[in-house]
Structure 1
Amino acid sequence: MQMFNPTTSRLFPLMLAATLLMSLSACDSDEIPTDVDPVDRTAAELVEEADFLSTLETAASESDASLLETLGQSEPLTVFAPGNPAFENWDVEGLLANPTLLTDVIRYHVVDESFTTGDLGEGQTLASLQGTELSASAGSVNGVGYFRIDQDVTNGTVHIVNNLLFSNRTIAERAEFFLPANAFYNALEEYELTAALNDPADDLTAFVPTEASLAGLAPLVQDQDLTDADVTEILQYHLLTESVSAGELVTALSENNDTFTAETVQGEDLVFTAVRAEPEEGEEQGELTGITINGGQASIDLGNVDLGSTNGVSHFISGLLLPEAYRPDATETIASTDGLGTLSAALGATGLDATLGDRSAVFTVFAPSDDAFSAYDVDYLLANTDLLSEVLTYHVVGGQELPASALEEGALPTVQGDEITVSFGEEDAVFVNSAQVTQTDLSAVNGVVHVLDDVLLENQPVSLQLRALLATRTLYDNLANAELDGAVDGGDLTVFAPTNDAFEGSGFQELTFNERSEALQYHVLPSAVDSATLIDALEADDTFTTETLQGEDIVFTAERDEDGALTGITINDGQASIDLSNVDIEAESSFIHLIDGVLLPPSFTEDGDNA
């Protein structure tokens, strides 16, 4: 089994390039002046004398001595001269070690006629000294922008460009020397695929994973015990059989309902999906904000596309593209994702790992994170597998693969049977019931996984919620001891739930059995009141009184700052305060609000007043 380490393989040329650049230039050599007084010198003399062109001067002199002579000829020239910053993302040492290739690259930057930017039409074709044509305009050449334009020299014009012009080389050569693509090149070379991308007769599209994305290949090889042939298929799956520019891809998406399919060299298709903003009034389509591949398996970096080559085009992607046989199922995706360990253990405990591992089925999984589970008694849930199965299947939509771009406001049926509700908040925040989606589009061969910041228990009764929540375990125990745990179930109630800390030192256990029973019922309203309704009721005079399940009234008082903004809600003149960060915990058709004190009915005090 061949293995490669994209990080290690890239470090050596990167360090050499950095060392070379440091040796070539003084401390200010990368600072390109925006305005230079006209001087009586040739293009060759400008390259030799300007500090900010020192890397180009070294490259020209060390690759072919005649290059500087050419730049000093009397006949008019146009030189698209890369400044020192243009070399920062390139393996300069590797280029210097390939003088024939480097000579061709430099000659590709020179045209045997003088053109100012004012002379250039849009997309004007220019014949380079190397022989391959350039496409130039007043704003760019081969899509590369100018840093400074129209520098007069005695034998023509020099334009300073901000990147190397490399479109006269193959996809493989670009990947070999362009440092952001070097990890991809190392993988191609390791699995003997560079020759396939060096054939100038081909016309391909390469989707180049970032180094961080490609780092996911090594653990995949190990986890699935992949052969060299398997890895070769994965790499070939990043190549389309024909050249498709970003503009052509966008057009194809617009003409095909925002979905476009193309065949890869490996044989299977890639599926592209447009991601759009909400359309403005009068628009049929919203503005394109991104392009995903295979339902979120990867995203195209729209700032790094259309890197031209003689045999096609390259686009950078974030993510690793996997043919169907190598894609993880939903269970494997969850198991391999940091922060989903608790969910993975829960799936194993209930046997649902096999369900979500069914590659013939389709699921959308809303996966509570480890942090989400940290608020709950996980040991209790794991010990009650029937309950846990019901909870987990309430997080799964069967028969539908819904990437983030396909989520719409409204209800979705779950495998458990009840519905969950998708809604949208500010800044495109996505919510499922009251839980927020914190990570989207974890790809699986049989669906997609979205991560949540809470566990969905809205379809469970109040008593189970109080038992499962770590913060309300004492309240649950007291309800059970008073044989009232069932009394809070059944719907349309509001429970003001003292936390465990609130019971400490409250004297609650000193009450008689009947008094404890009455006090617990005093924490319950006989109707479902969410926090928004309670706040609205306080608007009139900052006080609201209502009857409890026990029969006596409870009094709420608004606390406000000097500007009148609500800062808190107290109960019974300070007996407790509502924790406004932990309200509206839904349980069936009831609400739970956490409070920091234990409430006692007014009749419990000697004078009948609230204490």
Structure 2
Amino acid sequence: MRSQSWRHVAVAAFALAVAGTNAQTGSLTDLGTLLSGQKNLTTFYGLIQKYPQILLQLPSTQGVTILAPNNDAFNKIPYTELNKAFSDNDQDVITNVLEYHLLEGSRTAAELNPGDSVFIPTLLTNEAYSNVSGGQRVQNVKQSGDVVVFVSGLGNRCTLTQADLKFTGGVVQVIDSLLIPPSNLTGTLIPFNLTSFEGALYQSKKLENFSTAANSTIFIPNNNAFQNLGPAIANMTVEALGSVLDYHLLPGQVAYSTDLTNGTKFSTQQGGNVTILHSGNNVYVNSAAIIQADLLCANGVIHVIDNVLNPQGPGAQPNPAIAQQGAVFASASSYSTLPFTTAIPCTSSCPVTSSSVTSGSGSVTGGAGTKTTSGAGSKSSSVKTSSSKAMAAAMARETGFHAAGLMVALGGAVMMI
């Protein structure tokens, strides 16, 4: 009953917003009137009407930028990771997706045309997708011809197609695809074929720590990097392998590519430091080149590198004259197979026996087994939004009103937009 009552409050507040007049707001219109007048935003407008609790997330003071997918963007859903959620009308997932389209601060197109990448906080704070301080980020990049691009989870890109639809309290920027909220760690490793690193996490029992550590930066070697080391890493003890992996994790610090300045040293989970070096257009971590930067994940950011970092060789430096740096482990020799991939629990077409064992926090059945959860320590990719009670409390804190005065605060906040 309480959840329904808050939904009714939000519906009423939205109705007030739609019915607002320009006389109260000068030359700018309210959000509802703006959206209802855009024929290319009818699907997005319908979702806002269907899930009015999103309005509870809108700030009442510093403004908001709404990245509104146009109608064509929703036609692309069957080809994206969001297909099941939208097909099943999954309210929890859909509301989180909508929150990811709300950027903190009112930003015009000119302000979204950066020289370097900018990582903008959003109003998505659900820990399943946003185990980072201040809300999950969207990457804003500039391409040639002053094209404004946004990059979301799994490297999905969308382009600004219609700019600066202003309303009282913020601005709407129209985009041509939906933003995809970042996945958890394992959900990000698999699409980018980083299976040796994933297997090494299982092998060393480090998956839970890497998956749940908030505000993290992870330098992840690609499969070739592990394959080029062969027995030099595959034959390590669990403890030694764990130490190597910890050297790739920067805990408590989300270092995007713009933070990786030349000569900067970062402290790792292992205890040693890594050093960032620049040469021309290349950026190195010790002697490993970053070959793909800024993969957003639920608990921070991933940078893919072409070599495995060695905590015993922190002074390793690259030779920019060669494309592939040499391994920094003694006795390295290439394997014909990928190390550690057999440690990954089976997820499909798995052998079935009568025995059942536990692997990490996941249940595994027979042989390599059938993984029935999201793996040791990794969070489920299903999203649960905050309850209406929790959202009401959060809104009361932001506005300075207690629960008894929330209806007044909510009405005022919505009328401001």
Structure with larger Rg: 1
TM-score by length of 2: 0.49
TM-score by length of 1: 0.36
More contact order relative to length (CA 8 Å, sep ≥ 6): 2
